[in-house]
Amino acid sequence: MPDFHIFQFHEGEEIVFGPARRADETPLGVNREDSPGEVTHTEMRKVAITNQRIVVEKPGSCITIPNKDVLLVSIKEVGKADENLGSFTIMHAQSRNGQKARLEIPGVPYEKLPLLRTTFPNAKIDDQKGLVGRILRWLG
């Protein structure tokens, strides 16, 4: 299994999508006269979707959302779906209680779209196209 530090797999649980790793960089405000320049804080995120839940792990914290509680999954088209040449990125998931998880799992082939639907049986799969999709992507 991938090297999650906090997350523990249940018996029979396996990764279906991911894991995806991402470094989030945040600028920090430091007021120093002797060494002016930009200071940043980098935090690694690891995200995966298992056959039971969504996992978002950051240093010192781990968020999990049961798949049955997910009501909306947003994907972003990367290539042409009708030719099975393209892929999509799993962008976000939103749970029944309004909790939203940024996933950003790239490179999922369109042939796995039925698997995504069965992984989240109660969810609407929303493709972020058009003006609404651009606004949602811009807002992150």
CATH number of the structural domain spanning residue 85: 2.30.29
**69 falls within a domain:** yes
Q: What is the pLDDT of residues 23-39, one digit of tens each?
A: 878 787 776 666 666 77
**5 falls within a domain:** no
**7 falls within a domain:** no
**50 falls within a domain:** yes
Does 54 score more than 80 pLDDT?
Answer: yes
Tally the domains of the chain: 1
**6 falls within a domain:** no
Other beta carbons within 10 angstroms of residue 88's beta carbon come to 23
pTM higher than the cut 0.85? no
Residues 120, 121, 122: CA angle, nearest 5 degrees:
95
Straight-line distance from the first to the last Cα atom of the chain, in angstroms, rounded to the nearest whole number: 29
Other beta carbons within 10 angstroms of residue 91's beta carbon come to 21
Contact (CB, 8 A) for 99 and 65: yes
Does 2 score more than 90 pLDDT?
Answer: no
**48 falls within a domain:** yes
**Cα–Cα dist 95/66, whole Å:** 8
**21 falls within a domain:** yes
Residue 135 domain boundaries: 15-139
Rg of the chain taking only CA atoms, in angstroms: 17
In the predicted model, what is the mean pLDDT of residues 63-80?
Answer: 90
In the predicted model, what is the mean pLDDT of residues 66-85?
Answer: 82
β-strand partners of 26: 41
Q: Tell me, what's the pLDDT at 56?
A: 94
**65 falls within a domain:** yes
Q: What is the pLDDT of residues 83-121, one digit of tens each?
A: 567 889 999 999 999 999 999 999 999 889 999 999 999
